[in-house]
Structure 1
Amino acid sequence: MELTEIRTLLETYVEPEGRLSVLFVTKNGTKYTSFKPTVSNDVQKEVVKLFKDSVQSKINSDLAKVPFNPSGHENDEFSECQIEYLGNYSEVINLFDEPGTEEIEPDDVSFLIFRLRINKDQDPTKYLYLFRKNHKLKNIRKGFWMRKVNDTFNILEGSKLMAIDGWIDAISLEDEVIFFNHISAERIFNLREKYKENAEVGLEEVQRGNKIQNFDQFRDDCLEDARIIRRLTKIQSNPQIIELFHAHFSNAPEVVELFDLNIDFNTDKTQIVYADKDQLTHITMLMRDAYYRTVLANRKGVDDFNV
């Protein structure tokens, strides 16, 4: 999915004429509650225009597209993944089909989903989805407030206002999703649960190598630490990393000494002896082969992005 493609779609339907709908969603833990309000044509038109301008701004910033990384991306990047990676994408999207009947107070909305129908009337239905976390904005430079009046949300001032601006946290089209805000991605979808599943798979591969004593405690401690779970998810996405950890484990004592890591070995240095949570960072970074020494200047370094 390219940003220019999204811009073209928004330009095509800048006069949405009923094609745009919005869903208010409250998320408690892994549970969702939704409400689908009626939105006036004026609001639809203004929302599409705001999103078009926002996407154009991102294009002007020349953001680089990178594969989705559990630990985030740089400020000059946006990330992309397949919807299958998100685990509960369909659950979130299907909230449109069976929304709740009780209205959600604006301050209780966790995020909003905007759905724009982008097919010609004679063609099969096709949607563009835009996700926006509810930041409960107090001031808006480019945007507006909307309020429910006569069962329809319109652009007005008064009580129970919902802030709408052009910021976009994520966009999905067909089988792809792009993210501009990594933390919001976690809060919209149940990514933490997905990460934990991936981490458990990665830990099974680590266990097969029999390189860590007290592995059961190591696994339990890993799965209680959100940052370690993200790192293990990244490791699991490239199984070759774990294979290299096992195959080149004989080099581990040298790395530990060179970087003064909080890692201990058994007598013949064939296993790491896991003792407590303070070792998790160094062990998992060693597993990820994050420590290096340059060829040209023989400098020590740590690949500390996304660790």
Structure 2
Amino acid sequence: MDVTNLVTIINRLDEQDLDMRLYFTRKKPNGRYQSYSPTVGPDLQIELKGMGLKALEKVQDAEQREFSPIGTIEGCIETCQANDVTSFNEILQSMEEDYVNRQQIPDEEVSRLTFYCLKIFTTHGDILFFRRVTKFNKLKGGFFGKFANNDFRKLDDTLLGIDPNVDIVIFNGEMLILNHISLERIFSIHDQYQEKATRTLGLVQSANKITNFEQFREDCLSDARVTRALTKLLNEETRMSQVFANFENVINVIDIFDLKIELAEENTKIVYEDKSQLMDITRLIRDSFYKTYMGNRDGYDEGI
């Protein structure tokens, strides 16, 4: 994403004629999203626009990399296509006129809201800023209050905080991820990881190189870290095929790294026994073990 161009677009907006909406959203038990869009006054609109602008200015010179389910590199920000996130269009739909609730948000709903979205309309395309909400918990045995006209008044417990940070920015179908974990939490992509990991495991099963495979599958899908690695591996199918096609190298890696993995059927299959082997087997499948050129040192990708 061209962040500098986006900063320029926002800077050129007429603050006396801003066109924006603020949405607060939660995911309901049935899996659908509910969004509310309260009225936002002109002064607050300017302040909200300024917060989004400052967040972008901070990352103008940051290196950008494609989103990886297994984690990001410190100092880098990630990008991906918004349509690659399954729930994105569902969330957008909850913000459309036919679905969004513009009435007063019921008090009981406030504590259920999980994120907000600031949508700025421009001639270049809509700019969306996403951020998880900050909630103020009740004081134990007390309450929050404020001074008004020399009176001290109790505040109710339906307060939400909007801080100057931004988690996700979306512009013209491209997603800029400023907070890696927030992509998972705002867009609830755990189910998407599960689906892709299941597809990867189908490819692994077809290679017929792991015994007790059904238990292996179950254990993989119950481990979030392994599920993320298998999701990424779906885009590395050739890499995985090469591992199984050169199984003698698997045998060598098991020996070099003294992995607690047994082999069966004349050293042609990996014997899966329990969860303690999940990481090592996943690293084998991903071809994560290596030897350095300069130091001739053995190692493996710490990402999984």
TM > 0.5: yes
With over 3 angstroms needed to count, the CA separation of the structure-2 counterparts of 1:164 and 1:13, relative to structure 1, is: farther
Q: For each residue in 1:94-139, what CA deviation from the matched residue of structure 2 results, as whole angstroms up to 9, or x when unmatched? A: 111112356155443210011110127xxxxx3111101113379x
Q: Match of 1:5, as an amino acid?
A: N
Cα deviation, residue 89, structure 1: 0.9
Partner of 1:13: 13
Cα deviation, residue 55, structure 1: 1.2
Matched, 1:205 2:203: yes
SS of match in other structure, 2:59? helix
Deviates more, 1:198-207 or 1:259-268: 259-268
Q: TM-score, normalised by structure 1?
A: 0.85
Cα deviation, residue 256, structure 1: 1.0
Q: Match of 1:115, as an amino acid?
A: K
Q: For each residue in 1:182-215, what CA deviation from the matched residue of structure 2 results, as whole angstroms up to 9, or x when unmatched? A: 1111011131111111111111111111111111
Matched, 1:58 2:62: no
With over 3 angstroms needed to count, the CA separation of the structure-2 counterparts of 1:56 and 1:118, relative to structure 1, is: same
2:112 aligned to 105, 108, 111, which one?
A: 108
Partner of 2:142: none
For 1:174-189, list aligned pairs within 5 A: 174-189=172-187
In the aligned structure 2, how far is the partner of 1:8 from the partner of 1:158? Answer: 39
In the aligned structure 1, how far is the partner of 2:184 from the partner of 2:271? Answer: 33
SS of match in other structure, 2:262? coil
Cα deviation, residue 158, structure 1: 5.4
For 1:1-307, list aligned pairs within 5 A: 1-13=1-13, 15=15, 17-28=17-28, 30-59=31-60, 62-97=61-96, 98-100=99-101, 101=103, 103=105, 105=107, 106-119=110-123, 126-136=125-135, 159=156, 160-304=158-302, 306-307=303-304
In the aligned structure 1, how far is the partner of 2:191 from the partner of 2:179? Answer: 18
Identity of aligned residues (%): 32
In the aligned structure 2, how far is the partner of 1:104 from the partner of 1:58? Answer: 37
With over 3 angstroms needed to count, the CA separation of the structure-2 counterparts of 1:295 and 1:18, relative to structure 1, is: closer
SS of match in other structure, 1:269? coil
SS of match in other structure, 2:135? coil
Aligned partners of 1:36 and 1:99 also within 8 Å: yes
In the aligned structure 1, how far is the partner of 2:212 from the partner of 2:80? Answer: 35
Cα deviation, residue 234, structure 1: 0.9
Q: For each residue in 1:158-188, what CA deviation from the matched residue of structure 2 results, as whole angstroms up to 9, or x when unmatched? A: 5544322221100111221110111111011
In the aligned structure 1, how far is the partner of 2:205 from the partner of 2:191? Answer: 21
Aligned partners of 1:87 and 1:190 also within 8 Å: no
SS of match in other structure, 1:75? coil
Q: Match of 1:177, as an amino acid?
A: M
Task: Give me the CA root mean square deviation.
Answer: 2.0
Q: Match of 1:17, as an amino acid?
A: D
Q: For each residue in 1:249-287, what CA deviation from the matched residue of structure 2 results, as whole angstroms up to 9, or x when unmatched? A: 111121112112121111411000111111111100111
Aligned partners of 1:212 and 1:274 also within 8 Å: yes
In the aligned structure 2, how far is the partner of 1:7 from the partner of 1:104? Answer: 36
SS of match in other structure, 2:176? strand
SS of match in other structure, 1:238? helix
Partner of 1:147: none
Aligned partners of 1:83 and 1:175 also within 8 Å: yes
Q: TM-score, normalised by structure 2?
A: 0.86
Deviates more, 1:17-26 or 1:281-290: 17-26
Deviates more, 1:102-111 or 1:222-231: 102-111
